[in-house]
Structure 1
Amino acid sequence: MVKPVARLFQTPEKNIMAEIGKTASLMENVIDLSIGDPDMTTPKPLIDATTQAMLNGKTHYTASNGDLEYLQAIVNFHNQKFSSNYKLENVRATDGASHATDLAFGALLDPEDEVIIFSPYFSPYKVQVEQFHATPVFVTCKEEHNFEPQKEDIEAAITSKTKVILVNSPNNPTGAVYDKSTLQDIADLAEKYDLYLIADEVYWPYVFNNHEFTPLENMAPGRTLVTGSLSKVFAMTGFRIGYLLGPTAVVDAAGLLNEGVAYTAPSMAQSAGSYGLQNERSLSAPLQDEFGKRLAYLGEELNRLSWAKTIPVAGSIYLFLDISGSGMDDVQFSDYLLEKAGILVIPGQAFGQAGKGFIRIAATQGMDQLQKAVDGFKKLDFSKH
């Protein structure tokens, strides 16, 4: 008899988001508003620059921490865009932000350490913490607070075992953009209790309706790690390229862990990242404008429905819709929506118990498809449920 797999995976929780991703790949004639993969093609100048780099021979391993040009582009970008003060020793290349987050947890966590995560949350966070035999502690963010965490709730969750607070703003799945005062409260608590902060800032360009993105990295620089990704910034999800920024000791520890995980990020993807960051404004602005229009349209139209409501669109590329007025829970609603309207979304429960009664709608299809989706929502009949 073969011994079982690791205890963590012997009786796994249902991974709703992964299952929906598989469903989406197998279905035809469905309006897929589930996974956060923009429908836009990566901007052609970026593709051309990447192709030229490959033709010039950039197809080999880079140094384990990354290609010097890419690392310098990250440092320059953050220092110029966000008035940070990074140096090359503060950064390493990663295979996207999830890889960066995983390395950050691995560099920081010992067994039985606790990590505070704001719920609803990006579902991989939980397993990423648990794989290092640490404990995720969830702090609920409520709709009446626009899904921003409250200082008193965070402080109540801190124990002698707490080591990290994870912050994701603009937020996936809720679309919340944390106010500067909220982030300052979090930074103050980190200083008070000697905690690390991990700032997942994947959606930083996508901020709307007079909201403003505030980088957490400058509020507590000695204890903050930034997990960055270029997937959404430049619609280059398939490139799998990101980075980890933070205190040198933690970034070095993350590098030791990564030697046996991925060694380094793909050289051609790093070439793409270098070009993208050096030309960020011209490449990302059209994407930002398009997502702003899409989310504004979805928010306005779906809020007209008697059984649905959402907080005003603040950021990210998602709409978090309260469907409790339908009389269904979010899993039932998502199944019904797929069956009756051919629209694929993700139930809020995929993002933790605080997501019950909501669905996440990704604005990752063009306006023609979104208009069809809105028509489908409007035709739903809950009189028999």
Structure 2
Amino acid sequence: MPKPSARISGIIPSGKDGWEVHFAAMTRKEAGEPIIMLSVGDHDFDTPSETIEACVTAVRGGYHHYTQLPGIPRLRQAMAKASTRCTGVETNADQIIATPGGQLALYAAVQATLDKGDHAVVVAPYYATYPGTFRAAEADFTVVEARAEDGFQPRAEDIEAALRPNTKAILINTPNNPTGAVYSRESLQALADLCIRRDLWLLSDEVYWTLAEGHHVSPRALPGMAERTLVINSMSKSHGMTGWRIGWLTGPESMISVLISLNLVTTYGLTDFVSRAATEALENDYGVKVIADIYNGRRTLFLDAVSGLNNIVVRGSEGGMYVMLDVSAIEHDDEKFAWGLLDAEKVAVMPGSSFGDAAKGHVRISLCQPDAILLDAATRLRRFASSYRSKAA
């Protein structure tokens, strides 16, 4: 039979990537084991009821048809208002294109800025889909690790050392998944200076911004950056809408107008009734403060519960839905540590090395569980770490 294209076959190369711990834990949980799942970032609560009712009303109102390619006007206006708040730069609807989820916004940004054979720099630790998204564009990329000892803040000099003559873009993620690090204004200014000096695009994944509002800084707000920054955003985390697949890309009007052609040949627009529910959610901030308060409270709760645990150090963890723990003084092999924790205490976490070399020796803790379960998991982690040290002694 005919073979699939090399382009598609090469998006996700074969081999171990650390997600085996998560998949094994899921299988065991489905088989009846009482596994505490702290390995995935999906809310443990439903979409706010107001958003659900808005969707039901739209379905019953007959909104079942094709929509405009860049998104219905009212949705784009609501997204522009959210982007103004997120980035600190006044944004209009013509600077917005709506997409089915933040991943498609990322895909659009990469397709828009890189041709086949072009080069990009990806700052790690990174979200798991970043490498495959560049491979789908047949673009080369170099991973530059933000260092654990810096609290996972990126160093512009390390990024500049990785640039090539054909480098077109840099991709960052703040607040960061997996580390929870919120990039400082100083770190971002150094990146902005580099982008301006070398005439580069900056792709900024800011989907967790509402979980760090008040100390989140968007590079789009820095002098000279609005014309060269594409901001990836999503309603999944901020509005509790992971399965609704609503995201958007913010950028210069000239870039957004070109990107409408990509929607023509990929999504052909968004679902009408979902778009209208999303519009109401954006206009009314359904769930935003409640969700942010939940995760800020859980972060404090969990970090307090593991505070003082010998030989475990917190890295990053200022925002988002995750806590990153350095366990290298106990076990340098983070995957081995994660498997051991799963087997001994029935707690599933992600090995840090799944997200890049900088996170080796760390484990990522998802905060997508109620307080009582997080406290139970912290107790189990404390017990496991103590016994692990005694075994290694």
TM-score normalized with structure 2 length: 0.91
1:10 shift after superposition: 8.4
1:122 shift after superposition: 0.7
Letter of the aligned partner of 2:19 in structure 1? M
Show the counterpart of 1:24. 26
Show the counterpart of 1:366. 370
Unpaired runs of 5+ in structure 2?
none
Q: 1:19 to 1:163 in 2, by over 3 A?
A: farther
Q: 1:312 to 1:122 in 2, by over 3 A?
A: closer
Root-mean-square deviation over aligned CA pairs: 2.1
Q: 1:202 to 1:155 in 2, by over 3 A?
A: same
- Which whole-Å CA distance do the structure 1 matches of 2:338 and 2:259 have between them? 39
1:279 shift after superposition: 1.4
Q: 1:174 to 1:110 in 2, by over 3 A?
A: same
Given candidates 68, 79, 85, the residue that maps to 1:63 is: 68
Alignment partner of 1:42 is 2:42: no
Show the counterpart of 1:214. 217
CA contact (8 A) 1:21 1:34 kept: no
CA contact (8 A) 1:309 1:322 kept: yes
CA contact (8 A) 1:302 1:309 kept: no
| Equivalent position SS for 2:210 | coil
- Which whole-Å CA distance do the structure 2 matches of 1:33 and 1:224 have between them? 33
Show the counterpart of 1:230. 235
- Which whole-Å CA distance do the structure 2 matches of 1:147 and 1:9 have between them? 27
CA contact (8 A) 1:108 1:250 kept: no
- Within 5 A, what are the aligned runs for 1:22-171? 23-24=25-26, 27-28=29-30, 29-79=34-84, 82-171=87-176
| Equivalent position SS for 1:324 | coil
Q: 1:231 to 1:353 in 2, by over 3 A?
A: same
CA deviations on 1:326-357 (whole Å, 9 max, x unpaired) are 22511111111111111111111110122211
The farther-off stretch of 336-345 and 301-310 is 301-310
The farther-off stretch of 72-81 and 41-50 is 72-81
1:103 shift after superposition: 1.0
- Which whole-Å CA distance do the structure 2 matches of 1:321 and 1:11 have between them? 28
Q: 1:224 to 1:82 in 2, by over 3 A?
A: closer
| Equivalent position SS for 2:211 | coil
Unpaired runs of 5+ in structure 1?
none
Q: 1:364 to 1:357 in 2, by over 3 A?
A: same
Q: 1:11 to 1:202 in 2, by over 3 A?
A: closer
- Which whole-Å CA distance do the structure 1 matches of 2:20 and 2:239 have between them? 23
Show the counterpart of 1:336. 340
1:30 shift after superposition: 1.3
| Equivalent position SS for 1:234 | coil
Letter of the aligned partner of 1:297 in structure 2? L
CA deviations on 1:266-323 (whole Å, 9 max, x unpaired) are 223222221121112x621111111111111212222322131113631111001111
Given candidates 295, 317, 320, the residue that maps to 2:299 is: 295
Q: 1:240 to 1:306 in 2, by over 3 A?
A: same
Q: 1:111 to 1:324 in 2, by over 3 A?
A: same
Letter of the aligned partner of 2:217 in structure 1? T
Show the counterpart of 1:246. 251
CA deviations on 1:47-66 (whole Å, 9 max, x unpaired) are 11222122112222211111
Show the counterpart of 2:391. 384
- Which whole-Å CA distance do the structure 1 matches of 2:117 and 2:50 have between them? 47
| Equivalent position SS for 2:122 | strand
**How many residues are treated as equivalent by the alignment?**
382
Show the counterpart of 1:258. 263
| Equivalent position SS for 2:98 | strand
Letter of the aligned partner of 1:17 in structure 2? W
Letter of the aligned partner of 1:3 in structure 2? K
1:374 shift after superposition: 1.0
Letter of the aligned partner of 1:342 in structure 2? K
Q: 1:128 to 1:10 in 2, by over 3 A?
A: closer
